[in-house]
């Protein structure tokens, strides 16, 4: 069922067959998925009573092709009691300002080409017209060679690297931002 989201995620529209042809509806959305690490989902990992097979089968319900379209995967560890009582970190207002600035930078860069966000830029444009230097994209080459990322995943990591660059307020992604973007795809889901 979740897998039916694959095409709209990729193409930004839903096509419904009709008697007189096919109707296409706009479907650009942000997909946020959440899952427990295993069926028993204990407060502390060490208390898990699931077998390796059970864990694998449980996570297997999120198909590889769907997960390949998820740009950022993060493993959330339970907060300690102290953190719950005294939250630390940046305020939402501060983070919002940084995100707004990053989005403005993306609009500045792409709007002449008809795109407004990094996620809208076709992979072919990122790989050719706006190609980064081989040193910067080296981590992607390595991941592709080892089969740790698919071609689609590589494009998605490139887009994410641009977003990390925009959040930093930089001109173009660095090698470390490319590596960071790949790590967001590689971890937290196993």
Based on CB atoms, which residue is closest to Zn ion, 27 or 48?
48
Closest alpha carbon to 5 in 22, 23, 30, 39: 30
Distances (CA, A) of 78 to 66, 93, 127: 26, 24, 38
Closest alpha carbon to 75 in 118, 32, 37, 132: 37
Based on CB atoms, which residue is closest to Zn ion, 38 or 105?
38
Minimum CB separation of residue 40 from Zn ion in Å reads: 3
Minimum CB separation of residue 45 from Zn ion in Å reads: 8
User: Which positions lie near Zn ion, rule CB under 5 A?
Assistant: 38, 40, 48, 50
Minimum CB separation of residue 49 from Zn ion in Å reads: 6
Based on CB atoms, which residue is closest to Zn ion, 40 or 100?
40
Cβ–Cβ under 8 Å, residues 160 and 184? yes
Token output for 115:
């795109």
Minimum CB separation of residue 68 from Zn ion in Å reads: 25
Based on CB atoms, which residue is closest to Zn ion, 58 or 130?
58
């Amino acid at each position: 069922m979740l897998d039916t989201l694959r095409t709209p995620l990729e193409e930004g529209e839903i096509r419904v067959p009709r008697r007189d042809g096919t109707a296409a509806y706009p479907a650009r959305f942000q997909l946020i998925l959440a899952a427990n690490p295993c069926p028993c989902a204990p407060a502390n990992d060490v208390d898990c009573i699931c077998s390796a097979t059970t864990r694998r089968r449980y996570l297997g319900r999120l198909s590889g092709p769907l997960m390949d379209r998820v740009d950022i995967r993060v493993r959330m560890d339970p907060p300690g009691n102290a953190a719950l009582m005294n939250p630390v970190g940046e305020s939402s207002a501060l983070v919002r300002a940084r995100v707004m600035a990053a989005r403005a930078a993306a609009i500045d860069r792409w709007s002449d080409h008809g795109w407004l966000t990094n996620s809208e830029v076709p992979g072919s444009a990122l790989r050719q017209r706006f190609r980064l230097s081989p040193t910067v994209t080296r981590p992607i080459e390595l991941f592709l060679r080892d089969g740790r990322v698919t071609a689609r995943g590589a494009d998605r990591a490139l887009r994410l690297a641009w977003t990390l660059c925009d959040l930093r307020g930089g001109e173009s992604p660095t090698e470390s931002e490319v590596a960071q973007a790949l790590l967001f795809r590689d971890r937290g889901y196993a």
